[in-house]
Amino acid sequence: MKRDLDQVSWKRQLTLSGKTEIWVQGMEENNQWKFHDGTLMSRICLAGETNGESEIHMRANTTCPTGYVVYHHTYIDICLLYVPIKAKYTIASSHCKQNGGDLIKIDTLEKYDFFKYYLGQYTGNGQFQVLVQEIEENNTQWRFHDGTLMPGHCLASLSGLEGKIHMRAMSSLDFKCQDAYPTDKYHFMC
């Protein structure tokens, strides 16, 4: 059964091969591909099939670096990598940037739910903590690296201790986040 994209609850897929296909419905209007709600299909490439009417079948292919998994988030694909090696925040962030990414940015509840689900497979190995992208500025606001404010989806509590300017998710707290010192070492996710 075919349905418009805005009526479908996207089924999240993981692939270890790094290549995934998603089929969606859209339309061509004035040489621009759009979803039925009018949103442009900026990161989608034409697969070359049509039913002869307004429905165009589109395919999104994402190739991630080796070891990463693909997570389909709203209209874009995200490549994720869990690194079970302890590192300071700056080292972890640099490692992620070497592959063109950054520490995971938990900016939506949907992404936070996937983060918890994905890391849940590792909880049998004992409790652990994972660095996530967030920096405290001026003892007042938590921001992502691009300057946007942290929405607080994973926030459990803040210690209020001076110098704790980074954020970590704790498996023992269902991956709720707490602040951390720059010198602390934890696992991380790109």
Instruction: Reduce the DSSP state of residue 120 to 3 states and report it.
Output: helix
Domain ranges of the chain: 5-59, 81-189
Q: Regarding beta strands 186-189 and 129-137, do their DSSP bridges make them parallel or antiparallel, or are they unpaired?
A: parallel
d(CA 123, CA 178): 18
Which of 110, 156, 108 has its CA nearest to residue 129?
156
d(CA 92, CA 156): 22
At the fourth CATH level, the homologous superfamily of domain 81-189 is Mannose-Binding Protein A, subunit A (3.10.100.10)
Lowest mean pLDDT among 110-119, 120-129, 156-165: 120-129
Q: Average per-residue pLDDT in the chain?
A: 74
d(CA 130, CA 91): 13
* CA end-to-end span of the chain: 36
User: Quick check: 111 pLDDT over 70?
Assistant: yes
pLDDT band at 172 (very low <50, low <70, confident <90, very high): confident
For residue 120 the two structure tokens come to: 């849940």
Residues above pLDDT 70, as percent of the chain:
65
The partner residues of 168 in beta bridges, in order of sequence, read 131, 178
User: Do 25 and 56 meet the contact criterion of CB atoms below 8 Å apart?
Assistant: yes
d(CA 130, CA 125): 14
Decide which of 173 and 83 is more confident.
83
Rounded to an integer, the average pLDDT of 46-56 is 42
User: Quick check: 26 pLDDT over 70?
Assistant: no
For residue 99 the two structure tokens come to: 């592959």
Confirm whether pTM is higher than 0.95: no
User: Quick check: 94 pLDDT over 90?
Assistant: yes
